[in-house]
Amino acid sequence: MSNSAQSVTPQWLAEHLDDPKVKIIDASWYMPGAEMNAHEIYEEGHIPGAVQFDIDTIEKPDSGLPHMLASEADFADAVGKLGIRETDTIIIYDGIGVFMAASRVWYNFVIMGAKDVRLLAGGMPAWTRLDLPVEKGRPEPKAVTFNAEFDASRVKTIEDVKQALEDGSAQVLDARARERFTGEVNESNPALKSGHMPGAINVPYNPLMRLGEYKDPETLRAIFDEAGVDLDRPIITTCGSGVTACVLNFALDILGHKNHAMYDGSWTEWGASDNVEVVKGA
């Protein structure tokens, strides 16, 4: 896979490890129940110079919802302490190579005004397959200033989604697995209803990737077309808790679609609300 505005190869990154303008982020995050500790795994081995971005730490406090987007000031303070400026070339990867958390962290930086944010093609598995260097422990980066410019148009609330579904101003794409979307299986959180938003379109995130990399643009476009998505219209993405929704956002970016946003609360908020409609079936 060649380098693009969206991603870089492990070989490219290996050649730029000493570039002071290239900042590397380990965004590893594992689904609840996976029994994997991202902090321990990071300290056992990560790409040299990579700092860790924890979506459950750099978040909006006391929201009652998981890993909600931090405020502009809190985000700038946290990533500045990680030694990252908005003008750096920021390379993000995660430990399983399928870009769930990496895509979410990519979108966080895009929303906050970072100028050049990319993913590492294949993530950590691709890096280790090539026997490229890793380091242990936890670096102590020098704090810098990250000048955040929050783009509110890229994040939607529950009210925004309700409005879009009612007036058709944007398509709502749900990245969850089909059986969760249809309500054939119950949500793992018993407090959440099963099913989907009326009028939402199911585009499961898994088929968009192969071996930890996004598929080629032609295949991505075909997947959206088959799902009935009009790529000339605005889009809002959603999922279980706002992580895999960003896989759709990244794929849309690859296709040059710029008018897309993410519903931060996603099904964790919608499925627990008594003030919205939930439907089942295809």
Active-site hit among 239, 251, 261, 262: 239
Q: Which token pair is 196? A: 């989907």
Strand partners, 110: none
Q: What is the homologous superfamily of the domain 153-270 according to CATH?
A: Rhodanese-like domain (3.40.250.10)
Q: Report pTM.
A: 0.93
CATH class of 7-150: alpha beta
Residue 118, H or E segment: strand 116-120
- Tens place of pLDDT per residue across the chain (282 aa): 334 568 999 999 999 999 999 999 999 987 666 667 888 999 999 999 999 999 989 888 888 888 889 999 999 999 999 999 999 999 999 988 766 789 999 999 999 999 999 999 999 999 999 999 999 999 999 999 999 999 999 999 999 999 999 999 999 999 999 999 999 999 989 999 999 999 999 999 999 999 888 999 999 999 999 999 999 999 999 999 999 999 999 999 999 998 999 999 999 999 999 999 999 998
Residue 239 known to be catalytic: yes
Same fold, 7-150 and 153-270: yes
Domain ranges for the chain: 7-150, 153-270
Phi, psi of 174 (to 5 degrees): -105, 120
Q: Which long-range contacts (CB under 8 A, 24 or more apart) does 7-12 make?
A: 7/118, 7/119, 7/120, 7/121, 7/213, 7/214, 8/91, 8/118, 8/119, 8/120, 8/121, 9/121, 10/120, 10/121, 10/122, 10/126, 10/127, 10/130, 10/132, 11/130
